[in-house]
Chains A and B, each alone.
Chain A
Amino acid sequence: DAGITQSPRHKVTETGTPVTLRCHQTENHRYMYWYRQDPGHGLRLIHYSYGVKDTDKGEVSDGYSVSRSKTEDFLLTLESATSSQTSVYFCAISESGQIYGYTFGSGTRLTVV
C-alpha cells in the first residue's frame, strides 16, 4: 500500500513475551490508527494518534500500548502477549481524521502460542 508500511508482516511469539509492531508512513498524515481484525468481528480500534505524542484509547485497548515519537512512526506494543491477542493487525492513516480518506497498511499477522 502506497505510503504506509507495516512490519513485520508475520510474527509468531510465545505467551508472556513483549511484542512491538511498527507502522511507518511517508504521507505526513496527522492521524494514525491501530486496528485488529478477528473472525466474527469488524475491524476494531485499539489505539489512535492525532499527532506526535498525542494518543488515545480505542474500544479494545486493554493489553496494548502505543507510542508516536515521530510523525511517520506509530508503534503498537503488547507488553505481555496472550493467546487472545492472536489476530491480524492493521494500521491506518488519515490526513483529516474523518471517516473518508483512511488508507490501510497490508497488515501484520500475529500468532501467540
Chain B
Amino acid sequence: GESVGLHLPTLSVQEGDNSIINCAYSNSASDYFIWYKQESGKGPQFIIDIRSNMDKRQGQRVTVLLNKTVKHLSLQIAATQPGDSAVYFCAEGPGRDDKIIFGKGTRLHILP
C-alpha cells in the first residue's frame, strides 16, 4: 500500500456499522468542499461535495455535513462495507491563489 497512509489517524469500524470521518478546515472564506477517497495504489477519487450555503448533502450511502461556525466538515458512510476501506480526505477551496487545500486524511479500516 501507499506509505502515505502509515502516519494517518485510523478509524476502525465494524462492517455494517456507520462511519463518521471528520475534517477541520482552515479558511473561513472557503466556499466549496469536497471529500475524496483514496484506495491503496490509486489516485484520489471524488465522493461528494458541498457548497458553503448548505449544511448537509446526501449521496448514495454518504452524507456530508458542514458546520461553518466551527469550520468542521464530516463524512458519514452508512452501512460500511469492505470496499469502503481507504484513506479519506477533505479539500476546500478556493485556497491560496485559488488553489485547493487538501487535508491530511483519515484511514478507514473495516473490521469483519
Looking at the complex, which one of B32, B43, B93, B101 makes contact with A1 (CB distance below 8 Å)? B43
A residues 95-113 in Cβ contact with B at 8 Å: 97-100, 102, 104-107, 109
**CB contact between B104 and one of A41, A100, A107 (< 8 Å): that residue:** A41
User: Interface of chain A, helix or strand or loop or mixed?
Assistant: loop
Task: Give the distance to chain A from B63, nearest Cβ to Cβ, in Å.
Answer: 18
Q: How far is the CA of A37 from the CA of B105 in the complex (A)?
A: 11
On chain B, the residues within 8 Å of A48 by CB distance are 99
In the bound complex, residues from chain A placing their C-beta under 8 Å from that of B91 are: 42, 99
Tally A residues with Cβ within 8 Å of B: 26
Chain B residues with Cβ below 8 Å from A104 are 43-45
B102/A43 in contact, CB under 8 A: yes
Other-chain residue from A39, A58, A102, A105 in contact with B4 (beta carbon distance below 8 A) = A39
CA A37 to CA B44, docked complex, whole Å: 11
Task: Check: A88 CB closer than 8 A to any chain B CB.
Answer: yes
Q: How far is the CB of B98 from chain A (nearest CB, A)?
A: 8
Task: Check B102 against A39 for contact (C-beta < 8 Å).
Answer: no
In the complex, chain B residues whose CB is within 8 Å of the CB of A37: 2, 4
Chain A: CB-nearest residue to B51: A100
A41 to B104: give the CA distance in the assembly, Å: 5
- Indicate which residue in B45, B46, B94, B101 contacts A42 across the interface (CB closer than 8 Å): B101
Determine the main DSSP class of B at the interface with A. mixed
Chain A residue contacts of B110, Cβ below 8 A: none
Verify B102–A42 contact, CB threshold 8 A.
yes
Complex CA–CA separation, A106 to B39 (angstroms):
10
Does A79 count as interface, using CB distance less than 8 angstroms?
no
Question: A-facing mask of B73-112, CB < 8 A → 1, else 0?
Answer: 0000000000000000101111010111111110000000
Q: Whose C-beta in chain B lies nearest to the C-beta of A90? A: B43
Interface residue from A42, A45, A97, A98 paired with B105 (Cβ < 8 Å): A42
- A43 to B103 alpha-carbon distance, docked (Å): 8
A-B residue pairs, 10 tightest by C-beta: A99-B93, A104-B43, A42-B102, A39-B7, A43-B102, A104-B44, A99-B100, A99-B32, A42-B104, A106-B43
